[in-house]
Amino acid sequence: MIKRVDPKPLPETKLPELKQVGKPLRRVDALGKAVGATVYAADYSMPNMLHAKVLRSTRPSARIAKLDVAQARALPGVACILTGEDVRGAKLNTDLPGQTGREARSGSDAPVLALDVVRYVGEPIALVAAETVEIAEEAVRRIQIDYEDLPAVFDPATALEPGAPVLFEPDNEVSRYKIRKGDVEAGMAEADIVVEGTYKMPFVEHAYLEPDAGVAWVDEQGVINIRVCTQVVEHFRSIARALDVPQNKIRIRGTMVGGGFGSKEDITVEIFLAFLARETGRPVKLVYTREEAFSATSKRHPFTIKHTTGVKKNGRITALQVEMLADSGAYPYLTPYVLLYATGMAAGPYRIDNVQIDSVAAPTNQTFTSAFRGFGGPQAALGYEQQMDEIAKALDLDPFEVRRVNYLKTDDTTCTGQTVTSAVWSEECATRALHALGEPAPSTPTRKIGRGMASYFQSYGRITWFHDTSRAWVGVEQDGTVQLRCGVPDIGAGQSNSICQIAAEILGVPLERVTIYATDSAVTPLAGTSTATRQLYMSGNAVTKAATAVRDRLVARAAQHLGVEEATIDLGDSRVGVKGNPSQSIALKDLAHLCAAEGIELSELAQFNAPFNEGLDPETGQGDIWPDFTFGTAAVDVAVDTETGQIEILKCAACHDVGRAINPAAVHGQIAGGTHQGLGYAVMEDFILDEGQIKTPSFAEYLIPTAVDFPSTEVIILESGTGVGPFGAKGIGEPALTPAAPAVANAVADAIGLRINELPLTPKRILDALAGVSEEEGE
């Protein structure tokens, strides 16, 4: 078992004392949600509105031999039926060219509606809009469809074998990367031992509480308005392309999202609504059932990851070779990027000079896979962190000690040769997480206690060759209140609140005096996606830039007004004046009046650009991928019941360096929630397909953790102040999840003395593994 350790003392950091930032203030969206006033996507209705339903494939791989909508169309109350013929050529632009250096793969973009073939159960085939939901459902039932089954493939390894059915010409290789750093052969030769391990992980469902939904209508300017829960308002461009209309004729009004976790990063209902609204000229509403949210939206990529590691007796890694195989599902969607993330993070937060990584993703006739919190990072961590424990076991070293001698430090390079420039507090985080577990409980013959840890690193900010930007507008009203306009989608992590808190800090007003208008592609400055743990970094910096510009003008005018030096001016409590001298100050509202009368701009639109790079070397995979990384550790104590196979999580602790916590309660919530999702990933979540048919179609079969399953995570927040986000913040949204599942896997392996190489760790797998061991022992 991992030895007890004391927390490593933190390096000295002098973070400035702030008034609003750094406080666990009540979020601006919290009360509206708590009293049920917030209008989510499905809560909105309009006069004369139609209701839509989707006909979806029941076969995983088939030709549509016959599609006859005549009877459905004849049903009274049906306003419109659209098939693949009606939207011929309209695509979802899922496979962005250039990411692997290859040409765009012909046909691999998902069609809006299937035309000749269907490639997965749940693929959309036809749309119905009718006066009521019941009529729409009945119409869908009346559509006559005949399938002719085609050969299918259900696992990516088979898909890559010669002779396998090809989903998209020319072959089943959706994406491939290689990393070559140093000299792996030499490194292996240097090693004292070589450790091998293969780790598998399943499809996982996001299971956000709010099923995808939206309402669309055509307004008096002919603009198609789509009110939808989404992580991306910029989809208006893809939708415009699909409808063959100018981009300024599609308006996305994003709602408060009831959870996304990456699933709402893809286009979901909005494109169907756009077509139906245009076709009928009436408002149309589409609300997915939970079963549709399961079958028709993306999943986390299953991965099989093989590690071969050369190590010295003291634990130092001399060489690493990794092979990764990912399941892209029926359409690529964001697979090439997920694979890139997994590849770029495959070696973990460790200093390894000789690295060889080969990764490939292949399609199967199953639910398509795309973005899910961590985006390949959690899968990579399940590989490298389980491998670290196997190395410790092989060398008979303490699991933390093996990590400690290999941790990256600031100014070291990752496996792609990217230099880590911010603080790397892996050891500080690991020791604190482990220390928080306290003394382990004693094992009994039937209840084995195990302790496990996982250290990780996870990027924040998008791939830098996307040339990411974000914009925000900040303005001071004449009564001293503040308005923010920003395209940021709020998916529950406090995206909109954080930037309000930043504006409140910079302009010296209480948070209650900041109002934000957000998530409207026509009216609010575009802030990019709420994905890739990028909003605080990008929009936070954009708001900082905008608010600072306004602040500077206010300071200049106030200094003039008060007859003092600008450097002495401070803003706070809605006043502007000399720090520490309230008699030498002016109320912000009075200053705003003054500025307005003199034509001094009280608002600013600012754009923040992330670093712009140009991609990895195709042969060596060397180059910079991301703006920066977050580091941390999760540690878990488990009890494994050897009679029943039950796993009980006894205690869980997570420590992350978030750079700067803009709102500590929100950071706490992200870490607690992300860890919880990771615990579920480890022990109970398994989205099962059998011959392409979904065996876990609802919350009855697909289990996510409830309030009684796990204890609360002990959350430890560290602030190095070295992030590239506002006030030195890093990102935490995705990082929070990454280390949790491997920590559990390691704890279970510690408890029973053997490793189960596949998630989730169910009672069946535990008992079968224990039985396997006894069989061996009996021989």
Partner 1 sequence: MREIRLNVNGRAHELRVSANMTLLTALRDLGYTDVKNGCEIGECGACAVLLNRRVVNSCMVLAAQADGATVVTNAGLGTMKDPHPIQEAFADAGAVQCGFCTPGMVISTKALLDRNPDPTEEEIRDALSGNLCRCTGYGQIVSAVQLAAERLKRSISSPASPRCGDGHEPAPAEPLRVSGEVPRGGEGE
Partner 2 sequence: MLPVFELLKPASLEEAIEMLSEHPDSMPISGGTNLVVDMRSGKLSPKTLIDISQLGELCCIHEREGILEIGAGVRIADFLEDPMIARDVPILAEMARSFANTLIRNRATVGGNLVNAAPCSDTAPALLVLDAEVDLQSMVGTRRMPLAEFLVGAFQTRRQANEILTGVRLPIPPKEVRTAFEKMGLRKISCMAKVDVAVSVHVGEDGGVTNARVAVGAASAAALRVVPAEDALVGSSLCAETIGRAANLAAEAAEPRAGSEYKRQVVRGMARRLLTSLAEGGRA
Phi and psi at residue 382, to the nearest 5°: -60, -30
Residue 704 binds to partner 1 (criterion: CB under 8 A): yes
Residue 208 binds to partner 1 (criterion: CB under 8 A): yes
Give the CA count within 13 Å in the CB-facing half-sphere of 505: 23
| Cis preceding-peptide flag for 283 (omega within 30 of 0) | no
The residue type of 381 is A
Whole-number Å distance between alpha carbons of 216 and 404: 54
Residue 567 binds to partner 2 (criterion: CB under 8 A): no
> Measuring CA to CA, how many Å separate 298 from each of 162, 168, 203, 372, 643?
27, 19, 10, 8, 37
Alpha helices, DSSP H only, in 510-656? 535-562, 588-597
Residue 705 binds to partner 2 (criterion: CB under 8 A): yes
Write down the least CB distance from residue 709 to partner 2, Å: 6
Residue 708 binds to partner 1 (criterion: CB under 8 A): yes
Instruction: Give 623 or 705: the residue with its C-beta nearer to partner 1.
Output: 705
Residue 37 binds to partner 2 (criterion: CB under 8 A): no
Stretch that binds partner 1, among 14-22, 180-188, 409-417, 673-681 (CB under 8 A): 673-681
Longest dimension (CA), the chain: 92
Instruction: Give 255 or 328: the residue with its C-beta nearer to partner 1.
Output: 255
Q: Which does 492 bind (CB under 5 to 8 A by kind): partner 2, partner 1, none?
A: partner 1
By rule CB under 8 A, what count of residues binds partner 1? 57
Residue 68 binds to partner 2 (criterion: CB under 8 A): no
Q: What angle do CA 734, 295, 77 make, to 5 degrees?
A: 125
Q: Identify whether the C-beta of residue 453 lies closer than 8 Å to the C-beta of residue 436.
A: no
**Quick one: three-class SS letters along 305-331?**
EEEEEEECCCCCEEEEEEEEEEECCCC
Q: Which of 38, 584, 622, 646 binds partner 1 (CB under 8 A)?
A: 38
Residue 763 binds to partner 2 (criterion: CB under 8 A): yes
Binders of partner 2 among residues 121 to 150 (CB under 8 A) are 133-134, 137
Q: Which does 33 bind (CB under 5 to 8 A by kind): partner 1, partner 2, none?
A: partner 1
Residue 691 binds to partner 2 (criterion: CB under 8 A): no
Stretch that binds partner 2, among 123-131, 272-280, 419-427, 643-651 (CB under 8 A): 643-651
Q: Which does 257 bind (CB under 5 to 8 A by kind): partner 2, partner 1, none?
A: partner 1
Q: Identify whether the C-beta of residue 763 lies closer than 8 Å to the C-beta of residue 771.
A: no
Tokens matching residue 546: 């905008």
Residue 672 binds to partner 1 (criterion: CB under 8 A): yes
Q: Identify whether the C-beta of residue 24 lies closer than 8 Å to the C-beta of residue 665.
A: yes
Q: Identify whether the C-beta of residue 513 lies closer than 8 Å to the C-beta of residue 551.
A: no
Stretch that binds partner 2, among 226-234, 575-583, 589-597, 760-768 (CB under 8 A): 760-768
DSSP H/E element including 92: none
The residue type of 526 is L
Residue 5 binds to partner 1 (criterion: CB under 8 A): no
Q: Which of 74, 186, 209, 773 binds partner 1 (CB under 8 A)?
A: 209
The residues, ordered by sequence, that sit 6+ positions from 301 with a Cβ below 8 Å of its Cβ are 203, 326, 327, 328, 335, 338, 339, 342, 361, 369, 372, 376, 379
Instruction: Give 31 or 523: the residue with its C-beta nearer to partner 1.
Output: 31
Stretch that binds partner 1, among 336-344, 353-361, 486-494, 616-624 (CB under 8 A): 486-494
Stretch that binds partner 2, among 178-186, 368-376, 400-408, 700-708 (CB under 8 A): 700-708
Instruction: Give 177 or 710: the residue with its C-beta nearer to partner 1.
Output: 710
The residues, ordered by sequence, that sit 6+ positions from 231 with a Cβ below 8 Å of its Cβ are 257, 260, 262, 264, 265, 489, 491, 529, 530, 531
The residues, ordered by sequence, that sit 6+ positions from 467 with a Cβ below 8 Å of its Cβ are 609, 610, 612
Write down the least CB distance from residue 70 to partner 1, Å: 27
Phi and psi at residue 343, to the nearest 5°: -65, -45
Instruction: Give 15 or 771: the residue with its C-beta nearer to partner 2.
Output: 771
Sheet holding 124-130, edge to edge: 78-83, 124-130, 50-56, 284-287, 213-218, 224-228, 250-254
Provide the 3-class DSSP secondary structure of residue 332: coil
Computed from CA positions of residues 75, 77, 80, 81, in that sequence, does the dihedral angle turn out positive or negative?
negative
Instruction: Give 721 or 763: the residue with its C-beta nearer to partner 2.
Output: 763
Residue 39 binds to partner 1 (criterion: CB under 8 A): yes
Tokens matching residue 75: 């049903």
Q: Which does 641 bind (CB under 5 to 8 A by kind): partner 1, partner 2, none?
A: partner 2
By rule CB under 8 A, what count of residues binds partner 2? 23
Residue 701 binds to partner 2 (criterion: CB under 8 A): yes
Residue 257 binds to partner 1 (criterion: CB under 8 A): yes
Write down the least CB distance from residue 377 to partner 1, Å: 19
Residue 43 binds to partner 1 (criterion: CB under 8 A): yes
Residue 141 binds to partner 1 (criterion: CB under 8 A): no
Residue 185 binds to partner 2 (criterion: CB under 8 A): no
Q: Which does 480 bind (CB under 5 to 8 A by kind): partner 2, partner 1, none?
A: none
Residue 709 binds to partner 2 (criterion: CB under 8 A): yes
Write down the least CB distance from residue 182 to partner 2, Å: 44
Total count of residues recorded for the chain:
779
Binders of partner 2 among residues 438 to 467 (CB under 8 A) are 446
Q: Which does 676 bind (CB under 5 to 8 A by kind): partner 2, partner 1, none?
A: partner 1
Residue 515 binds to partner 1 (criterion: CB under 8 A): no
Residue 677 binds to partner 1 (criterion: CB under 8 A): yes
Residue 210 binds to partner 1 (criterion: CB under 8 A): yes
> Measuring CA to CA, how many Å separate 568 from each of 207, 320, 564?
52, 56, 7
Q: Which of 563, 565, 764, 777 binds partner 2 (CB under 8 A)?
A: 764
Tokens matching residue 151: 């050969």
**Quick one: three-class SS letters along 144-205?**
EEEEEECCCCCCHHHHCCCCCCCCCCCCCCCEEEEEEECCHHHHHHHCCEEEEEEEEECCEC
Write down the least CB distance from residue 265 to partner 1, Å: 15
Q: Identify whether the C-beta of residue 101 lies closer than 8 Å to the C-beta of residue 616.
A: no
Q: Identify whether the C-beta of residue 265 lies closer than 8 Å to the C-beta of residue 93.
A: no
Q: Which does 764 bind (CB under 5 to 8 A by kind): partner 2, partner 1, none?
A: partner 2
Residue 494 binds to partner 1 (criterion: CB under 8 A): yes
Q: Which of 42, 129, 484, 527 binds partner 1 (CB under 8 A)?
A: 42
Site for partner 1, rule CB under 8 A: 24, 26-27, 29-40, 42-43, 206-211, 256-259, 261, 287, 289-290, 491-494, 665-666, 668-669, 672-677, 698-700, 704-708, 710, 712-713, 715
Site residues for partner 2 per CB under 8 A: 133-134, 137, 446, 641, 643-646, 684, 700-701, 703, 705-706, 708-709, 762-764, 767-768, 771
